[in-house]
Structure 1
Amino acid sequence: MTTRHSHAGTPNPLHSLIEPRALLEIAALPAGLPLLASAERGDGHPVLLLPGFLGDEGSLLALKYFLRNRGYDVQTWGLGRNLGFQTRHANALQQKIRFMHFKSGRKVSLVGWSLGGMFALYGAKAAPECVRNIITLGSPVSMGPEGSQSPPLVKAIYRLIAHPLGTHGHLAQPKARDLREQKRMPIPMSCLYSLSDGVVPPQEATIDGDPALHENIRVPGSHLGLAFNAVVLNIVADRLAQPEGDWHPYEPTGLTGRLYRLLTHKSLPL
């Protein structure tokens, strides 16, 4: 059964404090090249990458070039820096997905990092006939009545840059409110989350859903390093390589599977 993680409250303060360890994860990426070289190759279908809050296309370079190397037609959203869940970006994203689908004649896979995952959900809801699957990386895809449980500093930055009422202001918008009611779309969805994420707590980065279509996959690492994490990139490639119409939950196997279990201390995703 695919269920939200049982964590409650905000991320561990220590994990939030050491989020800069993402710099070490980025520096360690070249050491993961042997792992990435063995990653599943794709079938060439289009993939759209969506950055996290305050991120732009540059933040997705490692993911972009890796997936292109695996054979995908990869694009980034082309809307500049992600400054919050804004209606103009949401509407433009819908049109981008429809155009990619029309141009290629194939459904589009959406990969969203952090807040980019919320945009991915909106894009899939707005153009479901154009979307093949959804992958989120540490994204706040679930939220209880208490609202966001991100650390106070993250909320303060969001209020300063995105909306004076913070995440509550954007979550009250009809588009965002509809998203919270539409998480169980009949589209395959993989939510990658980390127990040591210092920005988005596990219960918000995971979903309740249909185990035949939805899954939560635990990964190691920080929030800010997710798109540069060799284990994460390998899993993303595995999920994108699932045949259209024949999706199966993630099953770590072989050397990659042993490494995955070693780093997460779990034999199966939660």
Structure 2
Amino acid sequence: MNKMMVAPQVVAPSLALLGVEPFRAVIEYAGMHLMDREALPEGDGHPVIIFPGLAADKRSLVPLRNCCEALGYAVYDWEQGFNTGPKGDIDEWLHNLATHVRGVATLHNRKVSLIGWSLGGIYAREIAKLQSPLVRQVITLGTPFLSRGSETNVGWLYRLVNGSAPLVDDKLAARLRETPPVPTTSIYSRTDGVVAWETCLLDGDCDEGENVEVEGSHMGLPWNPQVLRIVAGRLARSEVGVTS
């Protein structure tokens, strides 16, 4: 008699991994200064908008922003300051973020690449679904778009900065799981101490989606040398439907 195979339950990373996050992030920061920037592909100048993670703002993304600007891209902040999670109605919140993206695309008369770290990646993905004709691609860093909340170690932090617990019902979970209709890259680490790496994986049947594994912490993703190389490579790819 065959026994039914049961998929292992996805759980939050261990407290041991979470505890060494700051130390590992410092090592990655040092490694960033040792990497060969000359080997990175030059950009074509198209606009890029970067979205910070929970309890972070543009200051946490300075290394990533500086790298993209040095390659020749027109880089923009998300213009919402400190990320405390969606405020009010989520659709209205996303509409306001999408308005900023539309403004940047109009200013440059070019499609925009969206990069989101952790929770910021959720915003980037959802905006790409709303404004797909204006979005060139989406790149997420440690974004748990398959999470219902229990697979992360940030529930307490979300409550601290937002005042309420994150609520992901069945309808919202199905919505977040859907991959944007544009080229999408999900960068993740199996040694992420904040979110379960399994919640960052795109569906294998997604034609324009790609999962890319790196070695590193969650906190250090915006300056992890591997991440910077991958981001530079993805941004340098030709726009879908446009030949050089």
| Shorter-chain TM band | 0.7 to 0.9
Structure 2 residue 63 is matched with structure 1 residue 62: yes
Aligned to 2:156: 156
The alpha carbon displacement at 1:125 in A equals 1.5
AA matched with 1:23: V
Correspondence 1:99-110 to 2 at 5 A: 99-110=103-114
Q: CA deviation at 1:205?
A: 1.4
Contact 1:47/1:110, CA 8 A, preserved across alignment: yes
**Contact conserved, 2:179 with 2:206, CA < 8 A, in 1?**
no
Whether the aligned pair in 1 keeps the contact of 2:189 and 2:213 (CA below 8 Å) is: yes
Q: How many Å apart are 1:180 and its aligned residue?
A: 2.1
Q: Cα RMSD between the aligned structures?
A: 2.1
- CA shift at 1:11, angstroms? 1.0
Report the AA paired with residue 158 of structure 1: Y
* Partner of residue 241 from structure 1, selected from 212, 236, 239: 236
Q: 1:79–1:89: 8 Å Cα contact kept in structure 2?
A: no
Give 2:5's aligned residue. none
Closer, same or farther in 2 for the Cα pair 1:108/1:178, shift >3 Å? farther
Work out the percentage of aligned pairs sharing the same amino acid: 36
Q: CA deviation at 1:178?
A: 6.3
C-alpha separation in 2, matches of 1:62 and 1:26: 9
Task: Tell me if the contact between 2:21 and 2:193 (Cα under 8 Å) persists in the aligned partners.
Answer: yes
- Give the C-alpha shift of residue 163 in structure 1: 4.1
Q: Does 1:139 align with 2:140?
A: no
- Aligned pairs, number: 231
Which residue is 2:202 aligned to? 207
Q: Tell me the secondary structure at the aligned position of residue 11 of structure 2.
A: coil
Determine the C-alpha separation between the residues in 1 that align with 2:123 and 2:94. Answer: 7
One-letter amino acid of the counterpart of residue 230, structure 1: P
The Cα shift of 1:41 comes to: 1.4
Tell me the distance in 1 between the aligned counterparts of 2:223 and 2:230. 12
Change (3 A) 1:10 1:213: same
Q: Find the counterpart in structure 1 of residue 115 from structure 2.
A: 111
Aligned residue identity for 1:179: R
Q: Does 2:30 align with 1:31? A: no
Structure 1 pair 90–211 and aligned structure 2 pair: CA distance change class (3 A): closer
Give, in angstroms, the shift of residue 7 of structure 1.
Answer: 7.8
| Deviation of 1:65 (Å) | 1.0
Structure 2 residue ranges without an equivalent (≥5): 1-7
Deviations 1:184-230 (A, max 9, x none): 33211000000110001111111214453001100011000000111
Residue 234 of structure 2 is aligned to residue 231 of structure 1: no
Q: Which runs of 5+ in 1 are unaligned?
A: 1-5, 248-270
1:84 aligned partner: 85
| 1:7–1:202 CA contact under 8 A, matched in 2 | no
Contact 1:148 1:167 in 2 (8 A): no
For the residues of structure 2 that align with 1:161 and 1:28, how far apart are their CA atoms? 31
TM normalised by structure 2 equals 0.87
- Per the alignment, residue 17 of structure 2 pairs with 15
Give the match's secondary structure for 1:41: coil
Contact 2:125 2:180 in 1 (8 A): no
**Aligned-partner residue type, residue 25 of structure 1:** E
Return the alpha-carbon distance in structure 2 between the equivalents of residues 142 and 101 of structure 1. Answer: 29
Whether contact under 8 Å (1:135, 1:190) holds in the other structure is yes
Tell me the SS of whatever aligns to 1:203. helix
Aligned partner (choices 190, 197, 209) of residue 195 of structure 1: 190
The 1:143–1:124 alpha-carbon spacing in structure 2 relative to 1, beyond 3 Å, is same
Contact 1:7 1:201 in 2 (8 A): no
